[in-house]
Structure 1
Amino acid sequence: MTDWTPPSRRVPKQRAIVDRRALTEQMNDLVNEHGEKARMPVIAALREAMDAGRAELADRLLKKPSAGHDCTAGHAFLVDQVIRVIHDYVTEHVYPVHNRTAAERLAILAVGGYGRAEMAPHSDIDIAFITPMKRAPWCEQVIEAMLYVLWDLGLKVGHSSRTIADTMKMARDDLTIRTALLEGRLVWGDQATYEELRQRFWKDVVRGSEKLFLTQKLDERNQRHKRMGDSRYVVEPNVKEGKGGLRDLQTLYWIGKYTHRVDSAAQLVDVGLFTNAEYRGFRRAEGFLLAVRCHMHVLTDRPEDRLTFDLQRQVAERMNFADRPGKSAVERFMQYYFMQAKRVGSLTGVFLSHLEEESSKSKIRSGFFAGWSQKRRELKGYMVEGGRLRAPGDDWFAKDPVRLVEIFQLAEAEGLEIHPETMRQTDRDSKLINAAIRKDARANALFLDLLGGRNDPETALRWMNEAGVFGRFVPDFGRVNAQMQFDMYHHYTVDEHTIRAIGLLSQIERGLLDKDHPRATREIHKVSSRRALYVAVLLHDIAKGRGGDHSVLGAEVAHKLCPRFGLDAKETDLVAWLILQHLLMSSTAQKRDLTDPKTIEDFVGEVQNLDRLRNLAILTAVDIRAVGPGTWNSWKGQLLGELYDASQELMRLGHKRHGRAERVAAKKAATTELLGEKSHLVVQAGDILTDAYWIAEPEDIIAKNLIQYEEARRIKDHLSIHCEVDEERGATLVSVIAPDHPGLFYRMAGGIHLAGANIIDARIHTASNGYAIDNFLVQDLHAKPFREETQISRLKEGIRKALLGQGELVPKLAARPLNHARAKAFNVAPHVNFDNSASNHFTVIEVSARDRPALLNRLAHALYKANLIVQSAHITEYGETAVDTFYVTDLTGAKVLVAERLAEIEKALLEAASDRKQRLLEDA
């Protein structure tokens, strides 16, 4: 419990917020005027005062948008004054007592965030009503009357009403109550009762429980971090509860206060837990985070703590962040936000290291630090104690700044942690890294050893980044430090994404991800230079935020950095090429038809050799997986594997590869073997299915199609819909066989979407006898296959109704919500690209637009209206953006080459891809 300076002492121009004396006089006047019926006028006057105070504070926040401490203290002051007025009104006019007994004493405490005087505009008001002994009826009446007034004002009040003895008993048993009381301060009422409570709290509750409190608070913090994503660098952070947020700073203060009885964060310096510079960092981070939270509450008019994409733009504008070349205002704002979150992490390490030092001085070790060995040994001049690497002196890094790199390399190589006190030194001394150190051959060799470490380079690099050493040693990396990518696809900042990708590469090399990445696990040991691969992963996004193509700019950075790191000319060229083309493989696999020979030929023409292919495949895998949870799935793995195998075959066999006729014959032979006793179906259907069908479809799907085709011919309406989970492809295979008719594809797409499924791949075939044989791969909204019987039934019913024209398809699609409700925060301008060189037989049309359920249906409908025949469709999602690729011909089976015709198609597709729902309804 505290005796620190109340908010009233720290808030300027208080009467402009609320004038308690004038408000009290107004209450008295209302009682004199209305007598027993004064309650409603009193509440109206209080509400008017609250509204005026909030408006004043909101106006101050706009004028000083970073003044988080002023804003939160101002709101606490406003509530203080209102509670005091309410208390006096109730005790003087509603339940007056002229000569109170010893039991008729009441202290009103602000606890929790309100006690700390950190109240955002819509924070809860946490109050404790304390009586010295069993409550007298008068106390109960006053408490009840005050609460009803507060509730009538529309305030969210968290309250408790206890005696001093009950409070002590509950505080000993409940960590939450103990923490709330730790910040308790007297708002109004009986001073003696508060002082007794305060003294007993420190004597009966805190004394002897300091280590237990520390252990419980750190465990509570760790559990909270896990719930919030366990990273400071998630792109929609929780300002209050997330890692690196306000709650982490508050946890430091709670622990410091509990163990050292400080009354303010400033006193953490006096007891040696922070330096003056660190405390200034504490206040700067806290003030900024408080300001952000206040802006969010004002904008949403509710207690919103998650900094969502739509709020990020608005808060950035309110806090006066502006666009800069290559970086938008919102990206600059979020970069600053993550820099503060990073500072919070550094402060936490420093803080806990001091507590550890204090604990190590005692003979008996228990609680959080129990079992830590203090036996020391020396390692290359460093001290190793308790599994931690420690610098032997305060001037260790000043004597040789190369040690700022060496210590992280040693920690990785030896499987050691770095002592938090030494982390503090590296942070402080990181400025010693200058141009000479960056060019130092030994420093670069150590860095390269760390980057490609055999144990856990990810963790060591993250420590290096937290300490500020990484960005100073590799300034290009420093430029992307804490830089977010303002979209829904990337889950982390650029530096966090890169470090995670390096960690994944290390795990693949160590065989820890062989189940998900068997090919990469096998091929990584065959690359020509493992260190070149690690450097390529490090640099693949190094030029983001500079304006221009980050792949091209990143390749230029590689040519500059690789020789400095010690790579030879051949390795440097490989790294530069990998960065230049690091999106090529994923783009080809997900957006192009891998059964079209031209796709493979063009890809191999760019890759050229097997070593590049191996490196690119591994880089692609870790890049996709490091984007965030769920971005890697078996379908993407399947596509990349098919592209890799087909490319490897072409490189190996070259012109000796089998021609079209041989490939068709091989497919028929394989399908015949699969069908067994039904092998006659291959002969029966062989002539009516084109070579394109046999080449495009895998033999397992062909076998299923032929059995289904036989069944479809026997059905009365000749419509057969078959659905089954395809575990290997990570999707549900939906095969539809029916008599072909115009618009079949767009209707099927609409029916599938209405069933709640996303199409990720589609192949459309027409047999010579007029039957359509269409195969779709679909997933649910979580990129998983449809498995449940109810889901399968819904799929079949949706397709059947769509094909039979039962119900109005387009209005129903228009009414469905976005796959991602947050997508509205982004401006995604539709774009259409035509490529007549990507295929020998088809025009390839690529459409990118905001993702929504009706998109594929609308695009397919536009193609149908444009008299185009769709051969295959490939659908890729990048967060809020969908990229749909179609292989098409005109009605004669030829490519579309005339410029005027292409312009007409582009206009129709752009209109279909627009966000205007009214357009959908008009076409119904």
Structure 2
Amino acid sequence: MHAVNQSAHDDIASLLDDSKLADALQADATSVLPVLKTSVENINQGLKKLYLEGAPVEEIVLGRAELLDRLLTTLFDHFFDPVRQEVALVAVGGYGRGELHPASDIDLMLLLKDEENAQTQDAIEKFIMLLWDGRLEIGHSVRTVDECVAEAAKDISVATNIMESRLLSGNTDLYNSMLTLTGPDRMWDNQSFFQAKLKEQILRNGKYNDTAYNLEPNIKEGHGGLRDIQMIGWVAKRHFGAASLYDLVDHNFLSEEELKTLLEGQQLLWRIRCSLHYLTGRREDRLLFDYQHQLAIEFGFKDDTSKERSNFAIEQFMQQYYRTVMELERLNEMLLQLFREAILYKDKPGEIVVINESFQIRHDYIEVTHKDVFKNKPTTLLELFLVNEQHPEIQGVRAETIRLIREHRHLINEEFRLSEEARRLFVHIIRQSRGVTHEFRRMNRYGILAAYIPAFARIVGRMQYDLFHAYTVDQHTLFVLRNLRRLSVPEFCHEFPLASGICHHLEKPELLYLAGLFHDIAKGREGDHSELGAVDALQFCLDHDLGRTDAELVSWLVKNHLIMSITAQRKDISDPDVITEFIDRVNTLEKLDYLYLLTMCDIRATNPKQWNSWKDKLLVELYNKAAQALQQGFENKTNRQDDIDHNRTYAFRHLSKEGLGTIEISAIWNNFTDEYFLRHKPAEIVWHTKLIMEHANKDTPVVKVRTDKRTGSMELFVFSRCVIHLFARIVSVLGQLNLNVADAFIMRGTSSCLLETYKIIFSDDMLEHIDHYAHEVVPQLLEKLTDRELSDLATMAVPRAQKHFQVETQISFTKVEDSGITRMHIETTDRPGLLSVIARTFIQCNISIHSAKISTAGETANDSFDITQANTYTPLSKPMQQELKQALLEQL
């Protein structure tokens, strides 16, 4: 039921000429199909034209169903005229509700009185074949009433389809019989139907990561999507026999304002879905990156011409979408809770357990003691969440109380935020030993968090248009909070033992949670979000009487929340100078503890695909080295030579125990540089030394791998005396195998030998194939290394999502102190074969590479290369740097 736009309705109705189809059916059989195809094409193109000219989406969706009703009824009445008392034509699914989006399937059921006889079978075959040949996307089933009853009894989705079906033509008694025999007094009574549909929604939500805020959301199946609206309609129809959502107002389940919100949300989702179908020419319900920009422009959003906000239209469009589905999600929760109370507890008044003058528990759900609680004492809008935390027996908030929260959110104003009671309550909420994650999610869902912290309101539903961040900023923030809290739960301490141990000994874990809450709060503002967020965090903590020292710690964590990740992933943490630079920023063990926990939980909450055991290992290694350095004191810091001597000594002892003599070891090690002993741990040096010794009398290169499933990594070792362009050959093979290089070290020995080591990391979904790749990589490398010529660069397909993100290439050079090395840093768009392109450019520009540190975040590659001039092994001059930069820019 909706307000009819009569002009659009008339235009749509005129798209089908019923008389032409009827005349063709009365003529010879060959004239039907051309007329049908023309009719279908007229409907499809006519509706598209009207939509693009601004016809209301409701008219398009409902009008398409009405046109198909007319067309299908005409065809059915013709083919089934002799047996119309034996068959009923029934619309099911979305078509049963009278809704048909441009590319949606037309779901039909042919309901039979008895098993098919020859006459009905012939009619069915001719009817269905004509529909297919006429280019109608139909889905159909053929069932008797008994079969429908049997299927509906065991499958809730079949029962739902039947419940919202419509009779188009045929035997009315047959159709009514099916409805009666599958009604709530025969099967799936109100309670069992509600519980089954609720379970269905929970499973569906789990499939979409329990959040509506994925960056390529499914507008039909995701949280707050069309399925959630349909869910309300299904339960209302089963319980009340409600024909539409409007009936819920009459039953006092929805206010007029809530109905308006629901219908406006449905209208937006219908518009997006309709546009997606027309844009793609198929049934597409995912808001993929491929379509977001075009849809944003279609919906009236404009791009900002400034470089920093080049995706402004997309971000604004998607924020409108996310905020809409958040509101729909709130309504869905409230209505389902109302249904729960009306259906499951209809005749059970329930014992009331009074908590205080404001709140009580009924049926395990919290509610206000009277409807003026929030009006009389606004701070109870925060107190409710604290009470939830303190009473683990509470399973949720009763629907009427949710409604009252929504109606009284406006009371959280500046006066409210300045009140000592509100501030005290907020600090108590974040300090509780249980329930913090759940209640902050609930506060966000009900709009309380955004009302209390205005800066948080700006990030609600804000997307970051890249491949690195998988969620909106507010959802990412809540995932960080969840991860931090999980570290303190004993049953999960085995997941990250070091982190859980540190967390257990934190004196004030609430400071960590506040840092997590504020670390990205300035995203989307102009300027450095870390700097801006640090200012917000400091003021908030001071306002909430946390003390200057604690406030400054939270502010410092927000300002520096990226430095540990950058250091671990982009720098050589085997270099004592890197550790020194890091601890100069951190300077206390307390800060290091907090920063390590925040960093780990931040990365894990950014994108499920970004976290892996290798990153865990790097962070743990950096934490341990920094902690050791801080414990020793700044005056006792180790230097490069200490680490070199340590690694040599321990490796030598191990090799000696295995029976290798000093002369044998020295003969190999005399070729090795100090940088090699600095970069490799004793166990790695032992492995390399033994491999070289085993192949001492062979001319072919040494190529070996070993895997570590615990860290999700593979170590590749290559030793050669005669292969040119070794790095380029190796990264070419690794790229073709789609292997992810995280670290590379290249050593030119004193006797013209080349030793190269590579760290290759595997994502969790590839980890099960690590043994396969370990088996594949060696023979493929040996083949490439023995080829006389460097093979042509293979063309590799760019993943779909990656095509929509371009990072402007930035290249810079610095001189590494006390060495002959130039360090080149490059930031560019990640793509298959990127390392191969860079390696071949080095060859072209006569550059030698000594080490590489590879870091990829979404679509952005951040890589560092230690390089020299190939002939002289000296740093690059300014002209050479410019020549190399220009050559790389041309390639990238």
Q: TM-score range by the shorter chain?
A: over 0.9
- Deviation of 1:728 after TM superposition, in Å, equals 4.9
Q: Distance in 1 between matches of 2:777 and 2:13?
A: 62
Query: Is residue 235 of structure 1 aligned with residue 212 of structure 2?
Result: no
Q: Distance in 2 between matches of 1:402 and 1:836?
A: 59
- Identify the match of residue 381 of structure 2 among 390, 395, 404: 404
Query: Is residue 751 of structure 1 aligned with residue 733 of structure 2?
Result: yes
SS at match of 2:68: helix
Q: Distance in 1 between matches of 2:604 and 2:406?
A: 30
How has the CA–CA distance of structure 1 residues 442 and 747 changed in structure 2, closer, same or farther, with 3 Å as cutoff?
Answer: same
Query: Who is 1:319 aligned against?
Result: 299
Query: Is residue 565 of structure 1 aligned with residue 544 of structure 2?
Result: yes
Query: Who is 1:158 aligned against?
Result: 139
SS at match of 1:714: coil
Query: Is residue 389 of structure 1 aligned with residue 366 of structure 2?
Result: yes
Question: Which aligned pairs between 1:681-760 and structure 2 lie closer than 5 A?
Answer: 681-717=664-700, 719-739=701-721, 741-760=723-742
Query: Is residue 491 of structure 1 aligned with residue 470 of structure 2?
Result: yes
Q: Is the 8 A contact 1:756 1:780 kept in 2?
A: no
- Deviation of 1:105 after TM superposition, in Å, equals 5.1
How has the CA–CA distance of structure 1 residues 321 and 9 changed in structure 2, closer, same or farther, with 3 Å as cutoff?
Answer: closer
- Identify the match of residue 572 of structure 2 among 587, 593, 605: 593
- Identify the match of residue 445 of structure 2 among 450, 466, 471: 466
Query: Is residue 123 of structure 1 aligned with residue 104 of structure 2?
Result: yes
> Aligned AA for 1:611?
E
Q: Is the 8 A contact 2:723 2:786 kept in 1?
A: no
SS at match of 1:713: coil
Query: Is residue 550 of structure 1 aligned with residue 535 of structure 2?
Result: no
Query: Is residue 669 of structure 1 aligned with residue 663 of structure 2?
Result: no
> Aligned AA for 1:319?
F
SS at match of 2:450: helix
Q: Distance in 2 between matches of 1:523 and 1:887?
A: 36
Query: Who is 2:407 aligned against?
Result: 428
Q: Distance in 1 between matches of 2:58 and 2:660?
A: 78
How has the CA–CA distance of structure 1 residues 777 and 516 changed in structure 2, closer, same or farther, with 3 Å as cutoff?
Answer: farther
Alignment gaps of 5+ in structure 2: none
- Identify the match of residue 293 of structure 1 among 249, 273, 280: 273
- Deviation of 1:166 after TM superposition, in Å, equals 4.3
- Identify the match of residue 19 of structure 2 among 21, 25, 39: 25
Q: Distance in 1 between matches of 2:24 and 2:76?
A: 16
1:134-183 Cα shifts (integer Å, max 9, x gaps): 66655444333221111112222222334445434443343222111111
SS at match of 1:436: helix
1:342-375 Cα shifts (integer Å, max 9, x gaps): 122212221122223224654579xxxxxxx746
Query: Who is 1:44 aligned against?
Result: 34
- Identify the match of residue 784 of structure 2 among 802, 814, 817: 802
Number of residues paired by the alignment?
Answer: 881
Question: Which aligned pairs between 1:582-621 and structure 2 lie closer than 5 A?
Answer: 582-621=561-600
Query: Who is 2:758 aligned against?
Result: 776
- Deviation of 1:337 after TM superposition, in Å, equals 1.3
Q: Is the 8 A contact 1:18 1:81 kept in 2?
A: no
Higher mean displacement: 500-509 or 831-840: 831-840
Q: Is the 8 A contact 2:184 2:190 kept in 1?
A: no
How has the CA–CA distance of structure 1 residues 134 and 716 changed in structure 2, closer, same or farther, with 3 Å as cutoff?
Answer: closer
Q: Is the 8 A contact 1:11 1:70 kept in 2?
A: no
1:461-485 Cα shifts (integer Å, max 9, x gaps): 0001111111000011111011111
- Deviation of 1:588 after TM superposition, in Å, equals 1.3
- Identify the match of residue 890 of structure 2 among 911, 917, 921: 911
- Identify the match of residue 419 of structure 1 among 397, 407, 412: 397
Query: Who is 1:521 aligned against?
Result: 500
> Aligned AA for 1:775?
T
Q: Distance in 1 between matches of 2:576 and 2:741?
A: 24
Q: Is the 8 A contact 2:576 2:639 kept in 1?
A: no
How has the CA–CA distance of structure 1 residues 887 and 254 changed in structure 2, closer, same or farther, with 3 Å as cutoff?
Answer: same
- Deviation of 1:798 after TM superposition, in Å, equals 2.1
- Identify the match of residue 43 of structure 2 among 23, 43, 53: 53
Question: Which aligned pairs between 1:504-515 and structure 2 lie closer than 5 A?
Answer: 504-515=483-494
Q: Is the 8 A contact 2:811 2:825 kept in 1?
A: yes
Q: Distance in 2 between matches of 1:843 and 1:786?
A: 39
Q: Distance in 2 between matches of 1:679 and 1:500?
A: 52
Q: Is the 8 A contact 1:633 1:783 kept in 2?
A: no
Higher mean displacement: 501-510 or 785-794: 785-794
How has the CA–CA distance of structure 1 residues 321 and 838 changed in structure 2, closer, same or farther, with 3 Å as cutoff?
Answer: farther
How has the CA–CA distance of structure 1 residues 303 and 690 changed in structure 2, closer, same or farther, with 3 Å as cutoff?
Answer: same
> Aligned AA for 1:902?
Q
SS at match of 1:522: helix
- Deviation of 1:285 after TM superposition, in Å, equals 1.6
Question: Which aligned pairs between 1:49-448 and structure 2 lie closer than 5 A?
Answer: 49-64=39-54, 67-90=56-79, 97=82, 104=85, 106-132=87-113, 138-191=119-172, 193-202=174-183, 205=186, 209-323=189-303, 326=309, 328-359=312-343, 361-363=345-347, 374=351, 376-379=353-356, 381-415=358-392, 416-421=394-399, 422-448=401-427
Alignment gaps of 5+ in structure 1: 366-372, 915-924
Q: Is the 8 A contact 1:401 1:433 kept in 2?
A: yes
Higher mean displacement: 611-620 or 554-563: 554-563
Q: What TM-score comes out, normalization by structure 1 length? A: 0.90
Q: Is the 8 A contact 1:179 1:254 kept in 2?
A: yes
How has the CA–CA distance of structure 1 residues 838 and 223 changed in structure 2, closer, same or farther, with 3 Å as cutoff?
Answer: farther
- Deviation of 1:720 after TM superposition, in Å, equals 0.8
Q: Is the 8 A contact 1:50 1:78 kept in 2?
A: no
- Deviation of 1:769 after TM superposition, in Å, equals 1.6
Q: Is the 8 A contact 1:756 1:781 kept in 2?
A: no
Q: Is the 8 A contact 1:413 1:450 kept in 2?
A: no
- Deviation of 1:196 after TM superposition, in Å, equals 4.9
Q: Is the 8 A contact 2:732 2:793 kept in 1?
A: no
Q: Distance in 2 between matches of 1:504 and 1:297?
A: 38
Question: Which aligned pairs between 1:866-881 and structure 2 lie closer than 5 A?
Answer: 866-881=845-860
Q: Distance in 1 between matches of 2:370 and 2:348?
A: 27
Q: Is the 8 A contact 2:359 2:369 kept in 1?
A: yes
Give RMSD over aligned pairs. Answer: 2.7
- Deviation of 1:525 after TM superposition, in Å, equals 4.7
How has the CA–CA distance of structure 1 residues 667 and 27 changed in structure 2, closer, same or farther, with 3 Å as cutoff?
Answer: closer
Q: Is the 8 A contact 2:707 2:774 kept in 1?
A: no
How has the CA–CA distance of structure 1 residues 738 and 112 changed in structure 2, closer, same or farther, with 3 Å as cutoff?
Answer: same
Higher mean displacement: 556-565 or 167-176: 167-176
Higher mean displacement: 790-799 or 698-707: 790-799
How has the CA–CA distance of structure 1 residues 570 and 790 changed in structure 2, closer, same or farther, with 3 Å as cutoff?
Answer: closer
- Deviation of 1:705 after TM superposition, in Å, equals 0.6
1:833-890 Cα shifts (integer Å, max 9, x gaps): 3333688653322222222221011112212332332222111221222222212233
Q: Distance in 1 between matches of 2:33 and 2:531?
A: 65
Q: What TM-score comes out, normalization by structure 2 length? A: 0.93
How has the CA–CA distance of structure 1 residues 9 and 62 changed in structure 2, closer, same or farther, with 3 Å as cutoff?
Answer: closer
> Aligned AA for 1:353?
Q
- Deviation of 1:795 after TM superposition, in Å, equals 0.4
- Deviation of 1:737 after TM superposition, in Å, equals 0.9
How has the CA–CA distance of structure 1 residues 657 and 418 changed in structure 2, closer, same or farther, with 3 Å as cutoff?
Answer: same
